[in-house]
A and B are shown apart, each in its own frame.
Chain A
């Protein structure tokens, strides 16, 4: 295939493989923890961090990451203080991050091409350094989940008993959400802030009702994710469509078809 001969497509495919692993693992976790909304919320926070970076004239990936992690880390305290269900403070806080981002960007005078690619993604123009960072993160995430697999499973299954048996649920969930924050920032760079949460949630949500074995669920979700990314890449290449949007539309179509299984 002609498309595969281009170096930028090869890089995009490799990035797609890595994103499939990251978003599948995180997506399954968020769905079973009842935190699907979290990924959409986190991606809004990325926008806030991005605007700060623009305004201060420093690396926007770094500011997005730091701002996102800050929001994730203070969220448990806000939830505890507000005594509301977790999704309400998440909704409030992350919308305000978006508002803050828009407000800060209104003060910025100048060129904002990177902003557009962060909003809608640019998997075809991925740089080697982004690929290496994503690869390193995938390795860290995989090792973390393999080492803590049964603890995480126990925490999802029955948090109260997991806590009673000595698992520090607060720390463990904090670690997973920190990894989720980093994942959303990295995925946003490739498929865009607006679409990153869709890629995390939709393939996992498609398979969760049907697969009755956790290991198979993880493997099949990675595979489905990858298929959506590859087909999105191919279609967008031949029909000159925006890649991120094409990938998410394909994932959504697969989800809708799965409902009629």
Chain B
């Protein structure tokens, strides 16, 4: 299987405080990775390094088998939904226009074709935001705004999808649809990295789990990781993890 992300001996610090230390990770094509860890564990920093917003201070990172600094057109294949993005909410942009940005990235900013419009329409239906098509982003609720950002990232039809706590503020019904959409994407051999604090869902949905708190404490298949031990090690607290059976 193709390597999509390859991280070796990665270090990153803010004002000499290391938030990432000696990170080594390999993400293969079609793998669905979950990253958990407490606040300030370096999860978002790691994602920002993978998408090329931050430069690694030490170590190397390859995405699609290329050093991150040499990525050009390949960047179009990375869909990214940041945590609490610093968005200009009152820009007079309609929801459709925001989702369409994803297609414009792929098309080198050329005009949208009818095929592009079909993709946008289908995605908006899947995420149940088609009724919001002509609304301005700033007029939407937090959950609706989050769905729009997810749709924009998916509109790129990415090969690597990076999601930093994407379901914050999103209702349970949409979360369930969202995870079923991620399962579909995984089947289509898209690699996914998901950061979430919802340990129950993440350990159920993902193929591989990484427990991060500056250092990578454990990583592997959730079923092989002793989740209680992992949580205690990463969060420094003992947890009681309750799982719920899904009603059909």
Contact = CB atoms under 8 A, between A and B. Distances in A.
A2 interface: no
Interface stretch (B4-12, B91-99, B166-174, B238-246): B91-99
For chain A, which range describes its interface: under 10, 10 to 19, 20 to 34, or 35 or more residues? 20 to 34
A246 B109 CA distance: 42
B120 to A, nearest CB: 14
Contacts of B78: 164-165
Contacts of A211: 92
B1 interface: no
- Tell me the dominant secondary structure on chain A's binding face: helix
Interface stretch (B32-40, B82-90, B212-220): B82-90
A33 B80 CA distance: 22
B75 A165 contact: yes
Instruction: Give the interface SS of chain B, mostly helix, strand, loop or mixed.
Output: mixed
Contacts of A128: none
A161 interface: yes
A166 B105 contact: yes
B92 A214 contact: yes
Nearest to B104: A150
A252 interface: no
Interface in A147-178: 148, 150-151, 153-154, 156-161, 163-166
Nearest to A164: B51
Interface in B51-85: 51-53, 71-73, 75-76, 78, 80-82, 85
Contact of A163 (B53, B76, B149): B53
Contact of B88 (A32, A148, A150, A212): A32
A211 B90 CA distance: 10
A166 B92 CA distance: 23
Given A154-B101, A157-B93, 10 more contacts: A32-B90, A158-B149, A160-B53, A160-B82, A161-B82, A161-B149, A164-B51, A164-B78, A164-B82, A212-B136
Interface of A: 32-33, 148, 150-151, 153-154, 156-161, 163-166, 208, 211-214, 217
Interface of B: 48, 51-53, 71-73, 75-76, 78, 80-82, 85-88, 90-94, 97-98, 101, 104-105, 109, 136-137, 149, 152-153, 156
